[in-house]
Every structure is written in structure tokens, then in C-alpha cells.
Amino acid sequence: MEAAVKAPDSHAESTLERLIRENQVSLKRLCYLYLHDQAMAEDAVQETFLKVYRSLKDFRGEASEKTYLTRIAINTCKDMLRSAWFRHVDRRVTPEELPSRRETDPAYREVAAAVMNLPRKLREVILLYYYRGLTMEEIAEVLEISQPAVSGRLKRAREKLKAELKGESIDEE
Amino acid sequence: MKNKELKNCLDDAVSGIGENPWLLSRVLSRAESMEDTPVKKKFAFGTVQVVLTIILLMSVGIASFSGLNRTDSQTDNNPVSLSAPAISGMEAETEHARLKLESPVYDGTSIYLNWCLENKNPEVPMWCWAEKFSVNGIEFDFIDYNLEEEWLPGEYTEDGTIWHEWLTQLPEELIGAETIHVEMKINTSRPVRPWKMLDTEDAFREELESLIAEGYYVIPAYREDEETYWPEGYFEPEEDLNVCPNGWTIAVSGGPLPDDTMGDIIVETLDVSFDAVKPEPGNGLTLLQTQDAYEDEYCTAVFEKAEGTSLALYLTVRMKPKDNHDLSPRYWALEWKGLTDQKGIDASLTPSKKEYPSPDHEGETVCELCWEGITPEILPDTIYLTTRLKNYELVRFPIQVRSSGT
């Protein structure tokens, strides 16, 4: 069981510092995988931590830290995707344009691009389940949908990825 | 591929994304800059939005009311002012449907439409979509606009009416036109066969095929999970999906469904048109006061447009970076004292429409911003346009909506 976010007023800054230190990179990568844009991902993470900082006093510790941060980050990304600018831009990515280190296996890039090019609702469950490591229950909480809906979307996402990756299947567990 | 492998794979593919050492200080500095605005009253942010919507609808309603009152003295092709939009051919009727435009409003940049579509036979489902929408002969692409509606017996009003509202900005070449002529073609469709609603969790395909074999037109139950029907465009088309004439895709696995899945469909077209003219300053159009130029360490900014109408607030800002600063403004918002969310935290309204270069753009930028439903009447004397630059500096421009005390 993960630690819940607990931040007495006087310790808000140190709590924020810890949360940023521990989660910044993974959240930024999650936002990039979701938004397909590095600058936007950077902004989404800053916005996420700002929201977290301003609501620390009200947080009751009912959700795990990871779920709490992920929910805010995903909702921030969704707000960005609703903007007119995003709707009118082709957001598909190619493996070559991913921000990888030079030594990254090209096959990895292909898999990542396939995940990023999934329809949004399928992309988000894959990212939350496989990348963020949330349980079905936590994903249902983050996305505010039922667990069967999470399971259904994961199934469709795996099928679509398998077809996209020419037979490379993704394990359920 | 194993669970862990996929995570590593994704992590490696985006390994170039690392830490921002200034993130903590940026967040704290933004939090601090928001704290100096006193909170006067707590409003649920949803309530603010509802109030804004009501005000918008009321203002549009008033426009509509005065327009309808004055139509007796107007000829069909004689455009009148915003408060009394000209009405010509505002109603259309076919054997199965009746369409009536209630309150079109044009403010020089955007257009607001409110129409009522009546299904004359409410026992039969009906779908409607726009076949054509043109302004001064320029046709809109409907992919971007939500003009589809569905009428299902038992799920809509008993009298068989569908109400639809639409507010959108016109294409650039039409903005500012003194007069506009709008033509609309709304298509309706209805099944010829007897129909049945399908909403089953299990054996979706078997149930579907069985009903089709019995000669039913099967109505989609909209769900966001499992196999079901999806509005077209919701998912990318797949080979084994079935696109129906009414614009639905049956997302059912196991290969295509029979060719006559939907059977015959009755399609009818309703034509309506009207003219309207742009309002004058002081009569439906408020020109907001801005400085000639705003200047700070990083940029200078000039407002090329700062207008409020009965539909929206429009701001166009030209920003020039100084001393080769890497400038890329984004996250525009509108703020004013007392605007708070449900937790009493200062709220900022992000624009409903915005056009500006991508964040990678460098150099001079022109940003066109619009806040739909934000009208001068509901704003305080002074508001602030805020943005963050690519270097995360927050820039805030004060704008005078009206002189204090007036």
C-alpha cells in the first residue's frame, strides 16, 4: 500500500519538493506520451504540480499518491486536448521523432509510436496500466469510469496494438 | 511482450525527456503570483459557468425576442441590426419533420444559432445532421462542428422536438463582413423497418444478428465500453466495422454484418436561410481599452483587437520578443478579482477558441483569442489577460472594460 499524500500547511513546500523529485520525470513522460508534444508536456506537469500544491490542504489521503497525481495530470492533459489548436493539428507521431537517446532500440520506438497513435481512450488505459503501473481499480478511479469499462478498453487496445505491431502481443498481466 | 518490457520500451523511447531543475521554483512562483489577488466571494466554478451560460442565453433570448417582434415590419431580404436579426425562410417542413430557427445572432466574428427540430412522428427514431452550412457562399466543413442529433422514442421530449444550439467563429475571410447570408440544409433520416433498442452486455453480436434476421432496424445503445455502436469518427475505421447510413459505426468483432443491416432509410432535407448585419460600436459591440503597447523584459505586446459583443470576448495580441528571447506565448487566460473556483482558489478562464503558432514557433507571434459567452456586461471594470512564455515567465496585461464608476 502506497503512502498517501499528507501535507500539513507548514510542510506544503517540502511535500511539493518531494513530490516533484519523485514524480517529475515519469509524469512528464506520461504527459508526452499522451499529448505528443514536449513543450505541452512540460507545461502540463507544471500545471499538475501547481494544482497539487494548491490543493494539498484539502487532500484527505483517500487515494494513493500515485493515483492522485496521475488523475490530476491526466485531467490537465485532457483539458489541453480539448483546445481548438489541438483539434486541428495532426498529432500522429513517427518512431523517428520520439525524444529517445541515440542508443535506443528502433523496435522500442516503433512500439512507443504505436501506443501513442492509439485512439485517446485506448491510449490512456494502456499508459495508465502498463506505463504508470496502476491497477484496474485505480484506473477506473482516475478516468471516472467503471472497472469493466477499463477492462474492455484494455482488451481493445491490446488487440489494436497487436494488429499494429504485426502480431507482437502484449501480455495481460 | 511482458508488462515490464512495455514499460521499459516506452521509457526508453522517451528517454530524452528529463528533469527540469527549475520546476519547483516555477510552481512556487506561480502559486505566489496568484495569491496576491484577494478572494471576495467563493463561487463554485460550475456555478460561474452556468451563470455565464444563462446570461448568454438571456441576452440571445432578448435579441431573439426583439427580432421576432420586429419581423412584421421587415421585408424578408432586408437585414437589420444584431438586436433584431433579419429573418427570412426561418422555417422549413417536410412530411416527417419541421425545422425552426429561433434566434440567430451575428456579432461580426461569430454566429449563434438555436433551432428546434420537430419529429412529426415521435414513435419513430430520427437522426439529423447538417448537409450544408454556408455563409456568404462559403461552405463550412462539418467534421469540426457538432451538428448531429439523435431522437429516440422515450429518451427525448414527448412532443418529438430536438433543440440545438451552436456558437462558432466564422472563417477568417468572413470575419468583419457587414452583412452575412446564411444557408442551411439539415437532413433527417428515419428507418422504414420496425425498430428495437439493443443494450446487451453479453452476446452482443448474436443478439444483433438475431434481431437483424427478424427484420428489425437495431438502434444503438450508446455506451463507452465493450462492443457497441460508436459515433463515426470515435474510433479510427477498422476493416471489420460497419459504417451505417445514419453515421453510426457498429463496433462488433467477428467480421462484417449483413449488407442489409439497416434496411431502407427515409432521408429528407430541410432548407432554411437568413441574413444578419454586424453591430455598431455602442450598439451590441464594446471596444475595450488597451495601452498602445505593453513592454516587459522579454517582449512587447500590442492588442490588434479587443472587443466584447453579446456572444463573446475577442482579443488579438501581436507579441514581439526582445533581444532574441525565445518567445512562445501559450496558456492564455482571463482573470479578474473575485473569480474563484469551488475551493476559493483564484480561477482563470482559458479561451474557448485560440489560434496561434505552435509552441516551437520563434519570433513575432499573433495570437487570436476568444472567450465564448463572456460578455462585457458580466465583466468588472478591469480584467487581466495572462500568458506564460516559453521560459515560463508569467506576463499579465491589464485591460479596461469600461471606465471605473460608469
**Spans of all domains in chain A:** 1-91, 94-166
Name the grid cell of B156. Answer: 427525448
Of B12, B20, B345, which has the smallest distance from its Cβ to A42's Cβ?
B20
Q: Which residue has the cell 494539498?
A: A56
Give the percent of chain B with pLDDT over 90: 9
Looking at residue A121, its pLDDT comes to 82
Overall fold of domain B84-192+267-278: Immunoglobulin-like (2.60.40)
3-class state of residue B243 by DSSP: strand
Count CB neighbours of B206 within 10 A: 11
Overall fold of domain B29-46+282-400: Immunoglobulin-like (2.60.40)
Q: Which residue has the cell 436561410?
A: B273
Looking at residue B188, its pLDDT comes to 87
Return mean pLDDT, chain B.
71
> Which phi-psi region, left, alpha or beta, contains residue B215 (left: φ > 0; alpha: ψ -120 to 50)?
left
In chain B, the residue whose alpha carbon lies closest to the alpha carbon of A162 is B1
Q: At what angle do helices A12-35 and B23-35 cross, to 10 degrees?
A: 110
Contacts of A112 in chain B (CB under 8 A): 9-10, 13-14
Is B91 within 8 Å of B98 (Cβ atoms)? yes
Cβ–Cβ contact B32 with A under 8 A: no
Q: How many angstroms separate the CA atoms of B204 and B314, rounded?
A: 49
In chain B, the residue whose alpha carbon lies closest to the alpha carbon of A131 is B7
Q: Is the Cα torsion angle A144, A150, A153, A157 positive or negative in sign?
A: positive
Q: What is the pLDDT along chain A (173 residues), one digit of tens a residue?
A: 444 444 445 578 888 989 999 999 999 999 999 888 887 888 889 989 998 988 876 666 666 888 889 999 998 888 776 553 444 345 567 787 788 776 778 888 889 999 988 887 888 999 999 999 999 889 988 888 888 888 888 888 888 888 888 767 776 66
Cβ–Cβ contact B11 with A under 8 A: yes
Q: Given this structure, which CATH class describes domain A1-91?
A: mainly alpha
Cβ–Cβ contact A169 with B under 8 A: yes
Q: Is the Cα torsion angle B172, B177, B70, B93 positive or negative in sign?
A: negative
List pLDDT tens digits, range B53-82: 433 333 333 333 333 222 222 223 332 223
| Same topology between domain B29-46+282-400 and domain B84-192+267-278 | yes
Looking at residue B147, its pLDDT comes to 60
Looking at residue B254, its pLDDT comes to 62
Task: Determine the distance in angstroms separating the CA of B169 from the nearest CA of chain A, rounded to an integer.
Answer: 11
Looking at residue B264, its pLDDT comes to 78
Name the grid cell of B361. Answer: 514557433
Contact B343 A58 (CB under 8 A): yes
| Same topology between domain A1-91 and domain A94-166 | no
Overall fold of domain A94-166: Arc Repressor Mutant, subunit A (1.10.10)
Could you report the predicted ipTM of this complex, rounded to two decimals? Answer: 0.84
Q: How many angstroms separate the CA atoms of A163 and A167, rounded?
A: 6
Looking at residue B378, its pLDDT comes to 85
Least confident piece of the model among A38-52, A72-86, B150-164, B229-243? B229-243
Looking at residue A45, its pLDDT comes to 93
Looking at residue A144, its pLDDT comes to 82
> Which phi-psi region, left, alpha or beta, contains residue A110 (left: φ > 0; alpha: ψ -120 to 50)?
alpha
Contacts of B26 in chain A (CB under 8 A): 46
Contacts of B17 in chain A (CB under 8 A): 25, 28-29, 32, 38, 41, 99
**Spans of all domains in chain B:** 29-46+282-400, 84-192+267-278, 195-257
In chain A, the residue whose alpha carbon lies closest to the alpha carbon of B224 is A149
Looking at residue A70, its pLDDT comes to 93
